[in-house]
Amino acid sequence: MRNDLVKAWEKVKIMEINGYRSLTDSLNNTHNTALLGACNKMFWSEAHRASMELALDVLGMEAQILTGTGDSEGMLQGLTRGRADYPVSELQASFFFSRSETIWGGTAEIQRNIIGERALGLPKEPKPLKA
Ligand SMILES: Cc1cc2nc3c(=O)[nH]c(=O)nc-3n(C[C@H](O)[C@H](O)[C@H](O)COP(=O)(O)OP(=O)(O)OC[C@H]3O[C@@H](n4cnc5c(N)ncnc54)[C@H](O)[C@@H]3O)c2cc1C
């Protein structure tokens, strides 16, 4: 658990550095925004998913108990995230949503393809033969 907490902290520091790198790119007009974006999207989405898994591990069995208020009205207004029939806490809701973050906005696998082919100049992945 201690190792995983340190790894999570390291990832936060890497995201901080990546943020500065993107800012520097914008300020210097070096136009690497798309490639940096692909790296950042892949990294933060995987880091967030791992840190939410760690958060539930820290809670242990308690993580399985739904501790949200189930305020459906608040959910409709975008203020809370648990529903009356599934009253997840904010942390539990973040855990579930983190599962989708490596998919939406381009999956982590596709971001890796972009980085490999366009940033590192690796050969393009083979295309399947057309029938
Ligand atoms: C919560 C959520 C919100 C979303 N919101 C929006 C939205 O607001 N607007 C919108 O337009 N879309 C939205 N999407 C759709 C999202 O952009 C797509 O789900 C995403 O781009 C992946 O495409 P796909 O589902 O067609 O998966 P597929 O392309 O079918 O991929 C399936 C799997 O195969 C892998 N894969 C596919 N091709 C390759 C390859 N060449 N190399 C290696 N691996 C590969 C993928 O990584 C993935 O694991 C949302 C999705 C989710 C889950």
Using an 8 Å Cβ cutoff, are 25 and 33 in contact? Answer: yes
- Residues within a 6 A CB radius of ligand 1: 100, 103-104, 106-107, 109-110, 113, 125
Q: Give the residue, out of 41, 48, 101, 103, with the most ligand 1 atoms within 8 A of its beta carbon, to mutate for a pocket test.
A: 103
pLDDT in tens, 74-90: 888 888 888 889 999 99
Q: From the CA of 39, how far away is ligand 1's center (Å)?
A: 17
CA 18 remoteness from chain centre: 14
Q: From the CA of 115, how far away is ligand 1's center (Å)?
A: 17
pLDDT band at residue 125 using 50, 70 and 90 as cut-offs: confident
pLDDT in tens, 16-46: 999 999 999 999 999 998 899 999 999 999 9
User: What is the DSSP annotation of 7-24?
Assistant: HHHHHHHHHHHHHHHHHH
Nearest to 12 by CA among 47, 42, 37: 47
What domains sit in the chain, N to C, each tagged with a CATH number? 2-119 (1.20.140.10)
This prediction has a pTM of 0.90
